[in-house]
Structure 1
Amino acid sequence: MNKIEKTFDINIILMTLFSSLEAIREEKNIELIYDMEATIPRELRGDPAVLQHLLTQTLNFVFKYTDQNEIILSLSAPEDFVYEEAISFKIKSTNIAKEKVLAFLESNLSKDLEKLDGKIIYEKDADIHLDIPFMINELGYRRHYRLPDVSMLGKKVLLICESPKVAQSIKKMFNYFLYDVDVGLEAFKERGNDLTPYDILIVEDKFNTDALEHMIAKIQQNMALKYVLLQDDHHVETKIISVSTHLVKPVTEESVFELIIALFKNERDHEEIKTEVKENIIDLEKMLQAHKHNEKHVNPSSKYEENLQSMIERKRGLDLPVLDKKAGEENTKNMGLKYANELKNFLDSFERSDIYFRQIVNEKAINKIKEFSVDLEKHAKLIGAESILKLAETVSLIFVYNKLDMLPIYPGKYHIELQKLITEIKKELKIK
């Protein structure tokens, strides 16, 4: 059997996997957490379609039979990923009978594992353990994420998150970039409730309050503190003056990488000095307890639904460039890519995608529309295609609020925006 060897980004596989499982995750109220070791390469060569199918089957089975509300999919690889190595995919603590797990693995995954040259590992410390060999896409690179400036390394983070498992997963990903991470209020109180040592404060959005925002904004006048909200995927970003940006679940190594660049890419243009002043003291515990006390009176879903139309209107009112060359060149440079090559790749991938988009909307192929939107957002953001990125984000909002009756108007809008973008790309590439 000839193995398929395509280059793919493991993070795209994980994000698509997360989206494809949305219905059962929400039905069972299960949080899927990715625990990625630093040894996992960003880009691999193999068969991404079969890997996607295998992981989707596996997690569908786990979600169907588990009674746990948090499931961790861990990915690990050898320290020296030289050429071709096995990546281990493990799921522990499902509380599913061992016999049922083994029966599923051996009867449902054998064909996919054969195509991938993968195997089931039988061990006591994991309910499910699959080893699958992949080739590395870039030979000779040990660090798979390279920040564009050494000044971005070695920051200090305070992370306030409800789930210890989510917190430990995020901490590990920041550790890759030599970041020192304190998790929880106890660690913060040991430092005297002083935010001065920290470069980044990450707070899960369910704990965010107006009082906390105003306090952080005041502290930001004294120190260069980045305030980040950790959000569930179904929440919509809102503009809050003290919030620097958002970190959206599920968190992957790549999303942490992009977060760091977003926070510190212009840091050298306006460096600020931390000051030892008493205004940096904050009683976070008191503010978070106040939130918990009032939590039962808030219905987040109704609040967000009321804002759907206003969010779409706000995006519609933005006057964004069709192709922001400066932003695209900066994005591709940060990722070690050539701008012209990525413009050509976008053209090859999306030149006739308006036909495909219209077709899947007419077919109401929800999963295909979601996957297309994620793929379009990723590529549009990379090349600086701001106006079409806005449209893709608007389509995502429609899914967030389950307002699928609004979708039919967007194939026409996409066709118009795509033709404008193709014209600009061909001008840039000097294609007639």
Structure 2
Amino acid sequence: MHKIEKLFDINIVLMTLFSSVETIREEKNIELIYDMEATIPRELRGDPDVLLRVLNKVLTFVCQNTDEKEIVLSLDAPEDFLYEEFISFTINDIHIEKEKIRQFLETDLHDAIEILEGEIVYEDDADIHINLPFKISELGHRRHYRLPDISMLGKKVLLICENEAIAHSIEKMFKYFLYDVDVGFDAFKAQGNDLTPYDILIVDDHLNTEEFEHLIARIQQNIPLKYVLLQDAHITERKMISVSTNLIKPVTEESVYELIISLFKIQTASREVRSHSKINTIDLEKYLQSNKDSEKSEEQSSAVQESLEAMIEKRRGMDLPILDRTIGEANIKHTGLTYAHELKTFLDTFDRSDLYFREIVNQRSINKIKEFCIDLERQAKLIGAESMFKLAETLSLIFVYDKLDMLPIYPGKYHIELQKLTEAIKKELQLK
């Protein structure tokens, strides 16, 4: 039989494979993980249909016969993929009898592997090991992914993922792009629990909470942090305050490549200046796992109460400008808009908002309070309304940590602050 050679994307094959075994995986509650080495070319020449058929049979067999809840399909290739090389497909730790595996490979896969001119490898520690030859799409094209802009280089990633196999796989994929990657709570603690150095924070969706999203939104006022949720494909998306985008399982090099481009495609080559405020420091482990351990939650609540009180007390002694034009103009210089335009936008948005704020506080409309404070904090910072920004920042902490008993005094404070800021803005606009 003539060997077929078509140009194909290995990532498309893997995504199709993931969908093709979805039913049996869900029936047995099995997680499928792709562990791809950086040596795997993005585009190959060969027979993708037969490759898909082989891998589908392998994974179906494994799912039917294993009691494990996690299957890792590893892909590896030689460092110098010059023309035609073997790609290794291996699966380990499935705890199926060796003889049963051997019988399956020799009877069910023999013909398809022969079409691909591949080989079954028995002389190693892998439970299943198949080598299949493929050609590279372009001679000398060794680096398989190239980021389109220099501004996308040199990023630092914090990955919080409880599944070690998934975390290890994603870490390798980011390191392919020469990204610096910290994995887990311990690595973050070693950095002083400070989010300032990081460009991307990736968190398992099941660890995320709405309160945590609001806390990250507040931190994003100080640093250009991209917050990414690692999600299963079937998760229904909802409106989220601080989440930049999602990274959908199964993760491949292609999806990491697309993620990077989507996060930084509109960023300029110049790196943004980062605030080194203590506000960027957070105990992620306590916060993200608080729903699993009530004792930790109580300790965190006590610490937060002390932190809030200290911040409020500190603010009382601060003499902050009501409106600082220098700061405001610096904040909007890259937006293409004018300072006067942003001042008018603030007036249009927050005119008589003190009445609205009092109403939602009285009603204890938590979600509305959260959204209002995030918007106020963002807009106040943008125009250089330093005093209002600090008030909004305090409010953010109060509702993020569900300290609603502290809220009733703030409608009056906000009313006074809004009056002063409105007068300052109108005075500034009259000078134009």
Q: Distance in 1 between matches of 2:285 and 2:171?
A: 20
Give 3-state SS (helix, strand or coil) of 1:268's partner: coil
In structure 1, the partner of 2:56 is 56
Partner of 1:414: none
Q: Distance in 2 between matches of 1:68 and 1:293?
A: 27
**1:220 matched residue in structure 2:** 220
The number of aligned residues is 294
The 1:176–1:275 alpha-carbon spacing in structure 2 relative to 1, beyond 3 Å, is same
| Contact 2:150–2:269, Cα closer than 8 Å, also in 1 | no
CA shift for structure 1 position 49: 0.6
Structure 2 SS opposite 1:105 = helix
Residue of structure 2 in register with 1:25 after alignment:
25
Partner of 1:104 in structure 2?
Answer: 104
| Residue 238 of structure 2: aligned partner | 238
Report the counterpart of residue 71 of structure 1 in structure 2: 71
Deviation at 1:291, TM superposition (A): 2.8
Look up the match of 1:201.
201
Deviation at 1:203, TM superposition (A): 0.3
AA of the residue aligned to 1:19: S
Q: How far, CA to CA, are the matches of 1:119 and 1:269 in structure 2?
A: 47
1:24 positional shift: 0.6
| Compared CA separation, residues 270 and 152, structure 1 to 2 (3 A) | closer
For the pair 1:140 / 2:127, whether they are aligned, the reply is no
How do 1:316-331 and structure 2 match up within 5 A?
none
Post-superposition CA distance 1:62-109 (Å, at most 9, x none):
011111111100000011111111100000111001110011000100
- 5 Å-filtered alignment, 1:167-178, equals 167-178=167-178
CA shift, 1:271, in A, is 5.1
2:85 alignment partner in structure 1: 85
1:154–1:270 distance in 2 versus 1, CA, 3 Å: closer
Unaligned runs of at least 5 residues, structure 2: 295-432
Amino acid across the alignment from 1:38? A
TM normalised by structure 2 equals 0.67
Note the alpha carbon deviations across 1:15-73, whole angstroms, 9 max, x for none.
00000111111111110000001010001111111000000000000011111111100
Hey, what does 1:349 align to over in structure 2? none
Are the equivalent residues in 1 in contact too, given 2:228–2:244 (CA < 8 A)?
yes
**Residue identity in the other structure for 1:242:** S
3-state DSSP class of the match of 2:268?
Answer: helix
Which position in structure 2 is the counterpart of 1:341?
Answer: none
- Matched position secondary structure for 1:267: coil
What letter corresponds to residue 115 of structure 2 in structure 1?
Answer: K
Q: RMSD of the alignment, in Å?
A: 1.2
Question: Tell me, what secondary structure is at the counterpart of 1:49?
Answer: helix
1:46 corresponds to which residue? 46
Separation (CA, whole Å) in 2 of partners of 1:139 and 1:219 = 46
Alignment of 1:22-421 (within 5 A): 22-268=22-268, 272-293=272-293
Q: Determine the C-alpha separation between the residues in 1 that align with 2:209 and 2:275.
A: 25
What CA distance in whole angstroms lies between the structure 2 residues aligned with 1:137 and 1:270?
A: 35
In 2: Cα distance, 1:79 partner to 1:272 partner = 36
Q: State the alpha-carbon separation in 1 of the partners of residues 231 and 30 from structure 2.
A: 15
Amino acid at match of 2:67: D
Structure 2 counterpart of 1:134, one-letter code: F
3-state secondary structure, aligned to 2:105:
helix
SS at match of 2:276: coil
Cα offset for 1:272? 2.5
Residue aligned with 1:54, SS: helix
3-state SS in 1 of match to 2:243: coil
Q: Distance in 2 between matches of 1:218 and 1:50?
A: 51
Whole-angstrom distance in 1 between the partners of 2:86 and 2:193: 44
Q: Partners of 2:136 and 2:292 in 1: how far apart?
A: 46
Amino acid across the alignment from 2:156: K
In 2, distance between residues paired with 1:243 and 1:269?
A: 23
* Paired amino acid for 1:260: I
Shift of 1:211: 1.4
CA distance in 1, matches of 2:208, 2:291: 8
Q: Provide Cα deviations, 1:166-223, integer angstroms capped at 9, x if missing partner.
A: 1000000000000111111111111111101111000011011111101100000000
Deviation at 1:269, TM superposition (A): 7.6
- Counterpart CA distance in 2 for 1:84 and 1:31 is 32
Say which SS state the counterpart of residue 244 (structure 1) adopts: strand
CA contact (8 A) 1:87 1:133 kept: yes
Letter in 2 for 1:226: K
Structure-2 separation of matches of 1:154 and 1:269: 11
1:16 maps to 16
Shift of 1:237: 2.4
d(CA) in 1 for partners of 2:250, 2:288: 23
> The residue matched to 1:59 in structure 2 has which SS?
helix
CA contact (8 A) 2:224 2:274 kept: yes
Q: Is the 8 A contact 1:68 1:94 kept in 2?
A: yes
State the distance in 1 between where 2:183 and 2:87 align: 28
* 1:209–1:291 CA contact under 8 A, matched in 2: no
TM-score computed with the length of structure 1 as normaliser: 0.67
Identity %: 67
Say if 2:151 and 2:270, in contact at 8 Å, map to a contact too.
no
8 A Cα contact 2:34 2:72, kept in partner: yes
Q: How far, CA to CA, are the matches of 1:238 and 1:122 in structure 2?
A: 48
Distance 1:150 1:79 in 2: 25
SS at match of 2:34: strand
Distance in structure 1 (CA, Å) of the matches to 2:141 and 2:238: 38
Secondary structure in structure 2 of the residue aligned to 1:168: helix
Counterpart-to-counterpart distance in 1, 2:6 and 2:214 = 49
